[in-house]
Each structure stands twice: as C-alpha cells, then as structure tokens.
Amino acid sequence: MSSALPEFWRLSEELLELVGGKCKNCGKINYPQRKICASCGAQGNFEKVKISRRGKVHTYVVAHALPSGVEAPTPIAVVDTDDGARLVGFVTECEPDESKWEMPVEAVLRKVGEQDGRVNYGFKFRPIRLNRDAEKQRSEV
C-alpha cells in the first residue's frame, strides 16, 4: 500500500491536470484535444488550456452493464465545465437515482477499472454537496 502511494500522487498530477485545446477561432474548449474544432470546424488552431474541474451535469445515463472492475449500475454523465468544456465520465459517490440535470459536480481522481491485474485511475464526477463541504470545512478548522 505504502509503495503504491507515490505512484498514485504522480498519476493524480497528470490525470487531474485536465488539459484541453481552446480553439483560437471560436474560443470553445475541445476535450480531448483534437485537430478539428467540434464547434466551428477550424483546423489546427488551438492553445492548450487547463480545464476547470467543476461543472454541471448536462445529461446522463445509468449504465447497468459495464466492464469488469466497474460497479454497476452507475451513472455516466456529460458534464459542462464552468469554463465551457464538455466532458464525459462516470459519476461517483452518488446513487443512480440521485443524478439530476444541472447537478453541480467536480472531477476527482478515482479507480476507473482494472486490466491485467493493474488498477487504472482516471477522473470521475462527484456531486458537490453543500452539507459535506460544510462538514469538511468544520473538521479542517
């Protein structure tokens, strides 16, 4: 466990630096980065930008059949970040029937699956709950 921790934090830096390509023509952030803007069709005219980890659920589905290592049923959401990028990922720390349109979420590093005995990490979306955040602030004081 202790030997896995440094790797975990190294990965967290890479994975949670959510980096996309901001189109210099229309300003839309494309994620993942691509050669042609999904919004205006401009080609190869991007700058790398760090994407906000906070956003709101645009839409979602509840998946009942998933690859091994992923608990089902689990919601999969399309999230619009505060800075206008659109991301897709699993929702965590949330009951399937708790997901809502416009639900505020934040991207957090979590296990996303297992392959050949190795655990894969990636970002998932966690609901931003006011009660939990208030409790966290009280415990940090």
- Contacting residues toward Zn ion, per CB under 5 A: 23, 25-26, 28, 37, 39-40, 42
- 87 vs 32: CA distance, rounded Å: 8
Q: Residue 127 is encoded by which pair of tokens?
A: 């609901």
For Zn ion, which is the closer residue by CB, 12 or 25?
A: 25
CB of 65 to Zn ion, least distance (A): 35
Identify the helix (H) or strand (E) that includes residue 113.
strand 104-115
Q: Measured from the CB of residue 26, what is the shortest distance to Zn ion in angstroms? A: 3
Of the two residues 39 and 52, which places its CB atom closer to Zn ion in the complex?
Answer: 39
Measured from the CB atom, is 10 or 35 closer to Zn ion?
A: 35
Which residue is it, tokens 């993942």?
32
- Looking only at the bridges linking them, the beta strands covering 46-50 and 104-115 are unpaired
Distance in Å, CB of 23 to Zn ion, minimum: 3
